[in-house]
Structure formats: structure tokens, C-alpha cells
Chains A and B, each alone.
Chain A
Amino acid sequence: MDAGRGKLYSLQILLRVSRQASVSREEILASCEAIGADKKRNRLHDLQSLGLIAQDPDGTFKLAGMGRMLVDMLSLIMRLTTIREAG
């Protein structure tokens, strides 16, 4: 899973800013956005490899048993810690 990778995004932003005295928000967004699209597809593939999600014959993705257990547990933790949105 990628709790650490979430942090890596923050490191990417810091590294991007460190290469110049200052950077506009739009520049950071533009450079990270394209990478983000790739990352999401890779994460989807990783989740499928780990057996947390499954793909139906019609091409749609759904949670597998383990994935649903994990999501239920994390949903409870999110409620306890008042985290509004994952990711």
C-alpha cells in the first residue's frame, strides 16, 4: 500500500520547488498532474495484483473480500479521526 507514496508526492513537490527560488502553484500542479494520472493507473494495477480489487468480465472494477474488509476498517478509522476524504 502507499501511505509512504502519498508522502512521496509531497517530497516531489518539495524537490520541484527546491530547484528554483520560487515556483508558481500552476507550475507545480502542471508537473505533478500528468504523473498523477500514471500513478492512479499503476495503483489500480497494484491493487488488482494484491487481490484487493477484482475486475468483472464487463471491465468494471469491484472490491474483493479482503479489499472490502480493509476499506471497512479504514472507514471506521476515518470516522474516528474525522478524516473527510481519503488520498
Chain B
Amino acid sequence: MWLVLSLTGFALAVVLHVFARMGGSLTIVLSFLSVSIPVAVVLAALALWMFAISDESFAAVLVYLALCETYIFLFTLAANSVSVSLMMRLKSRPTSADELMQSYSTRAMVERRIEHLKSGGFLIEEHGQIALLERGRALVRAFALARGFFKHRRSLDTGVAEQDKSGQRSRP
């Protein structure tokens, strides 16, 4: 019964998200959170009412949260993944490597990410120049801390830095 409660809650969150996406101006993740969190609260209240404080109540909430997390992972994967984009291009017919490379514009992909970062409040563009906002600076600092913590020798910007110096390709 607790599993039915989790699955019903998740299905409800997905349906509400479809409607939220139709009219809302929030980003895709925020719009899902805006519907899934209230559903989680209702689901937790229902679970407590039906099962009191018990394993079933915790299981119902945790399974619901796991399903929501998986859903968020999958739609961000679909929205951002280079690999998924390449696979989508193979859906209709077999394609050569060169044709695939040409059909998927890296420039458009980078442009899209710049726009996402701008709309997310990480970057600002004024008079053709792009600069970091405080939120972007905080993320860069957090990334530097994480990189130090995990002792990553090779940084993400190595490729960019090397390319700036030599004008050649490098794999980050």
C-alpha cells in the first residue's frame, strides 16, 4: 500500500509538472520542485495518517523522493547531454560520424549554455562583454574548493587555457 502511495504521488507530480511547464516562467528543475515539494508534504501527511510513524511511512516518502530524483536526473540528462543529442540524431536513420558532427553545432550548444547561465543569474552580458555575477563567482569558488578537496590535478579550464596559449585543441 505504501508503494502505491509513492507511485501515485510521483505520477501526480509528473502530471502537475506538465501543466506547470505550459504556463510557468520557472526553469525546468525549479518548476518540478515547485510541484513535487507540495506533493511530498501531502504524501508525508497521508503516510503518517495511514501508517503512523512506521517503516511504511518512511519507505513511502523515501521511494517518492528517489523517483523524483531519478526523474530530475533523466530530464536534465535529456536537456544537457551531448551523448543523448547524438543518439537522438541516430533515431531516424543510420548516420556517418562526419554527418553527425556537422549536424550538431557545438557553437549552438555553447550559446545555449551561456543563455542558461545568464538566465540563472551566473553571468551578465553588457555591451557584448560577459562577466561573472556574484552567484557565478560563488560557484567558481565552490568548484575550486571541491577540486582541492578531491585533489583533482587537472582542472576543467586546462583545455581552455591551453587552447588560449597555443590555439590548438585539447581535451579537458
A residues engaging B (CB < 8 A)? 1-3, 5-19, 21-25, 28-29, 31-44, 46-47, 52-53, 56, 59-63, 67-68, 70-71, 73-75, 77-78, 80-83, 85-87
Which A-B residue pairs are the 3 nearest by beta carbons?
A: A87-B85, A6-B80, A36-B106
In the complex, the answer to whether A31 meets B85 with C-beta atoms within 8 Å is no
**Chain B residues whose C-beta falls within 8 Å of the C-beta of A21 in the assembled complex:** 131
In the assembled complex, how far is the CB of residue B165 from the closest CB belonging to chain A, in whole angstroms? 11
User: What's the dominant secondary structure at chain B's contact region?
Assistant: helix
In the assembled complex, how far is the CB of residue A68 from the closest CB belonging to chain B, in whole angstroms? 8
In the complex, the answer to whether A23 meets B95 with C-beta atoms within 8 Å is no
Q: Is B153 an interface residue (CB 8 A)?
A: no
In the docked arrangement, what's the CA distance between A46 and B82, Å?
11
In the complex, the answer to whether B94 meets A74 with C-beta atoms within 8 Å is no
Q: Is B41 an interface residue (CB 8 A)?
A: no
In the complex, the answer to whether B125 meets A25 with C-beta atoms within 8 Å is yes
In the docked arrangement, what's the CA distance between A80 and B10, Å?
14
**Chain A residues whose C-beta falls within 8 Å of the C-beta of B32 in the assembled complex:** 81
In the complex, the answer to whether B78 meets A15 with C-beta atoms within 8 Å is no
B residues engaging A (CB < 8 A)? 14, 17-18, 21-22, 28, 32, 71, 73-88, 90-91, 93-97, 100-101, 104, 106-107, 109-111, 113-114, 116-117, 122-123, 125, 128-132, 136-137, 139-140, 143, 155-157, 159-161, 163-164, 168-172
Partner of A36, one of B84, B109, B114, B161: B109
In the complex, the answer to whether B107 meets A56 with C-beta atoms within 8 Å is no
23 CB < 8 A contacts A-B: A2-B81, A5-B81, A6-B76, A10-B122, A12-B157, A14-B117, A17-B131, A23-B131, A31-B164, A32-B110, A39-B106, A40-B82, A41-B101, A44-B97, A44-B100, A60-B94, A61-B97, A71-B87, A74-B84, A81-B17, A82-B22, A83-B75, A85-B85
- Pick the most buried of B84, B85, B128: most chain A CB atoms within 10 A of its CB: B84
In the assembled complex, how far is the CB of residue B111 from the closest CB belonging to chain A, in whole angstroms? 7
Knowing A61-B95, A87-B104, the reply to whether A74 touches B77 (Cβ < 8 A) is yes
- Pick the most buried of A43, A47, A67, A86: most chain B CB atoms within 10 A of its CB: A86
**Chain A residues whose C-beta falls within 8 Å of the C-beta of B76 in the assembled complex:** 3, 6
**Chain A residues whose C-beta falls within 8 Å of the C-beta of B155 in the assembled complex:** 15
In the docked arrangement, what's the CA distance between A35 and B155, Å?
14
